[in-house]
Structure 1
Amino acid sequence: MGIAAALVLSLVMVPAPVAPEYAALGDSYAAGVGTGSSSGGCGRTAFAYPNLWKDAHSPASFQFPACSGATVGEVLERQLPTLTPETGLVTLTIGGNDIGFSDVMSTCSLKSDRACLQAVDKANTTTRDELPAKLTQLFTALNKAAPAAKTYVLGYPHLFEPTSCAAGLTETKRTAINTGADLLADVVKSATTTAGATYIDLRTPFANHGICSADPWLNGITVPFEDSYHPTKQGQLAYLKALESALGER
C-alpha cells in the first residue's frame, strides 16, 4: 500500500468527534420565550439557543428542562435531576426570576418613575443580599451531579439602548433597569467563576440591538405580555453564537 493510500485509509477510519451529552438548564431566556413559537407550560421553543445548538452539533444526548419562570430553587429541584455523571456540557441562564424580573418590568411598564425605581431598588437589594448564596448552592449541587461537565452560564443583555425611544418607558426607567442588569451580571459572573464555570456576557453581543435600537434583538411590550422583554429569534441566534464562540466553535 502506498503512503498516500495509507493516509487516506487512516483518515477514513478515524471516527468523527461526537458532541458531548448536553443539558440546557434555566429560565425563560433559556427556554426561548419571546420567539413566538412556544409550546407547553414551560414555554420552550424550537428557536431557543439550546435547541439551535443541538440542531447544529448533534450531541450524544440532549436534556432541555429549562422552564419559563424558573428560579434557582426550581433548577435545583426540577432540572438538576436530568444531569448524570456522563453529562459533558451544561448551559444555564438563571437569576432574573429570583430578583423579581417580571414584577419589575410590569411595574416599570405600567406605573410611575418613582414606583419603577422602588421596584428596581428592591430587586437590586435581593441581588446583593440573597442571590450569591443561592447560586453557590446551585453550583455545588451541579458540580456534584455532573462532575465531568463543562458549565457555561449565559447572562442577560441590557434591555434598552441609551437613546431616546418610544418604547413606553422614560429614560429614568430605562437607565435604572440597565443599571440593575449590570449588578446582576456582576453577581452571577462572580459566583460562576468561583465555581469553576465559564460566564458568557451577553451585554456586548447585544450592544446596538437593545429595545429602542434600529435593529432590536429583544421584544418591547407585546401581547401576550409574557413575551415582552425577551429575545427575538435573532436574539436567540446571538445567544447561540456567543455560546459557540466560548466553546471555540467559531
Structure 2
Amino acid sequence: MRKQLVRLFAPLTLLAAVGVSAAPADAVTPAYNSATKYVAMGDSFSAGVGAPFGDPTCGRSPLGYPTLWAQDHGITSFTDVSCGGAVTEDVLANQVSALSADTNVVTITIGGNDTAWGEKVLTCMNSGDAACTAAVDQAVADMAPLAAKLDATYTAIRQAAPNATVYVLGYPLLFEETSSCSVWIAPNQFQRKELNRFAKALDQTIAGRAANAGFTFVDAQPTFAGHAVCSSQAWLYPIANLTPLHPTPDGYRYGYFAALKSATG
C-alpha cells in the first residue's frame, strides 16, 4: 500500500498527524446473480477500512460494502483489488489489470486522496478558521486536475472492461454541521461546514466525470445523512480513532451498501 502523509484514507497517518448524478431508486436495473463477474476497485472506502477483519496490507474487510453487495446477490467469488490509501495512479497501475471483457460489474470510490482531503482536515484543525476557508476555497476552485485524473482512470476502466456496468460511489459528508462535539471528535462547527463544502464539490466533480464516462454515480450522502461525525448515531469514526473519518460497520451496511443496493437492485 502506498504511503503518503495526510492521505485521509491512510487512517493511521491522519491520526498521528492530528496528534490525537445519482441512480434513482426506481431505476430499471440489470439482474445480478451468482454468475455475475464482479470487480471492486478504489480506496479505503471501497476496501472497508474501519470495519473488522481487514487484511493487513490494504484493509479489505468482509464487512465492507463490496462483500455485502456480492453476498446479497449470491456472488460467492469476486475480485477485490481496492486498497486503503489508493489514488487514481494506484488504480491505473495496480487495479485495472483485474478487469477483462468478461467483467460484468465494477464498483469504485476514488479521488479523495488525490485531492489531499486529509490535509484539508488538518489545516482546519491546526491553522484556524481563516486558513480553513482559504484551503477549501482553493480546493473548490481548482478541481480541474482531479477531473483530468478521473477521466484517465475511467477511460482505462472502460477499455479494460468494455462490457461492464460501472458504479462510481461518492463520499459521504464527514461531519454533522449543527451538533456540538469536542476537538477529539471533530473540528469546530465552522470548520465542519467548510469541510463539508469541500466534500460536496468533490462529489460534484466525481459525479460529472462519471456521467461523462457513461458510468452510474451512486450518491452516498443521502444514506449517511444524520449519521456523520458528531451525530448521536454516527456511522463514521471520530478523529480520535485508529481509522478516523472512515465508515463504521453500520456505515458500510446502512450507508454504502444501502446506496449501492438502491442503484443496482
Give TM-score scaled by structure 1 length: 0.86
Q: Residue 41 and residue 119 in structure 1: after superposition, are their counterparts in 2 closer, same or farther (change >3 A)?
A: farther
Partner residue, 1:242: 259
Q: In the TM superposition, what whole-angstrom CA distance separates every residue of 1:140-162 from its partner, at most 9, and x where no partner exists?
A: 11111001100001100111112
Does 2:59 match 1:43?
A: yes
**Aligned-partner Cα distance in 1 for 2:99–2:131:** 41
Q: Residue 114 and residue 88 in structure 1: after superposition, are their counterparts in 2 closer, same or farther (change >3 A)?
A: same
Aligned CA RMSD, in angstroms, stands at 1.8
**Aligned-partner Cα distance in 2 for 1:36–1:103:** 26
Partner residue, 2:220: 202
Q: Once structures 1 and 2 are overlaid, which stretch shifts more, 145-154 or 128-137?
A: 128-137
Partner residue, 1:75: 91
**Aligned-partner Cα distance in 1 for 2:177–2:114:** 26
Q: Which amino acid aligns with 1:131?
A: L
Q: In the TM superposition, what whole-angstrom CA distance separates every residue of 1:75-94 from its partner, at most 9, and x where no partner exists?
A: 01100001111000000001
Cα deviation for residue 125 of structure 1 reads 4.2
Q: Residue 19 and residue 214 in structure 1: after superposition, are their counterparts in 2 closer, same or farther (change >3 A)?
A: farther
Q: Which has the larger radius of gyration?
A: 1
**Aligned-partner Cα distance in 2 for 1:36–1:228:** 14
Partner residue, 1:163: 178
**Aligned-partner Cα distance in 1 for 2:82–2:200:** 23
The answer as to whether partners of 2:176 and 2:226 remain within 8 angstroms in 1 is yes
Structure 1 unaligned spans of 5+: 1-15
Partner residue, 2:122: 106
**Aligned-partner Cα distance in 2 for 1:124–1:17:** 40
Does 2:126 match 1:120?
A: no
Give TM-score scaled by structure 2 length: 0.81
Cα deviation for residue 117 of structure 1 reads 2.9
Pairing partner for 2:168 from 143, 153, 156: 153
Q: Residue 92 and residue 111 in structure 1: after superposition, are their counterparts in 2 closer, same or farther (change >3 A)?
A: same
Partner residue, 2:202: 184
Cα deviation for residue 40 of structure 1 reads 1.6
Structure 2 unaligned spans of 5+: 1-31
Q: Residue 223 and residue 208 in structure 1: after superposition, are their counterparts in 2 closer, same or farther (change >3 A)?
A: closer
Q: Residue 129 and residue 202 in structure 1: after superposition, are their counterparts in 2 closer, same or farther (change >3 A)?
A: same
Q: In the TM superposition, what whole-angstrom CA distance separates every residue of 1:49-85 from its partner, at most 9, and x where no partner exists?
A: 0111222323274111101111111101100001111
**Aligned-partner Cα distance in 2 for 1:218–1:66:** 19
**Aligned-partner Cα distance in 1 for 2:111–2:58:** 16
Between the two proteins, what is the percent identity of the paired residues? 40
**Aligned-partner Cα distance in 2 for 1:185–1:154:** 9
Q: Once structures 1 and 2 are overlaid, which stretch shifts more, 31-40 or 184-193?
A: 31-40
Cα deviation for residue 205 of structure 1 reads 0.8
Q: Residue 125 and residue 43 in structure 1: after superposition, are their counterparts in 2 closer, same or farther (change >3 A)?
A: farther
The answer as to whether partners of 1:31 and 1:45 remain within 8 angstroms in 2 is yes
Q: Once structures 1 and 2 are overlaid, which stretch shifts more, 176-185 or 40-49?
A: 40-49
The answer as to whether partners of 1:99 and 1:124 remain within 8 angstroms in 2 is no
The answer as to whether partners of 2:46 and 2:83 remain within 8 angstroms in 1 is yes
Q: Once structures 1 and 2 are overlaid, which stretch shifts more, 134-143 or 32-41?
A: 32-41
The answer as to whether partners of 1:22 and 1:60 remain within 8 angstroms in 2 is no
The one of the two structures with greater contact order (alpha-carbon pairs below 8 A, sep at least 6) is 2
The answer as to whether partners of 2:223 and 2:258 remain within 8 angstroms in 1 is no
Pairing partner for 1:95 from 101, 111, 120: 111
Question: Higher helix share goes to which structure?
Answer: 1
Q: Once structures 1 and 2 are overlaid, which stretch shifts more, 46-55 or 139-148?
A: 46-55
Q: Once structures 1 and 2 are overlaid, which stretch shifts more, 157-166 or 138-147?
A: 157-166
**Aligned-partner Cα distance in 2 for 1:109–1:36:** 28
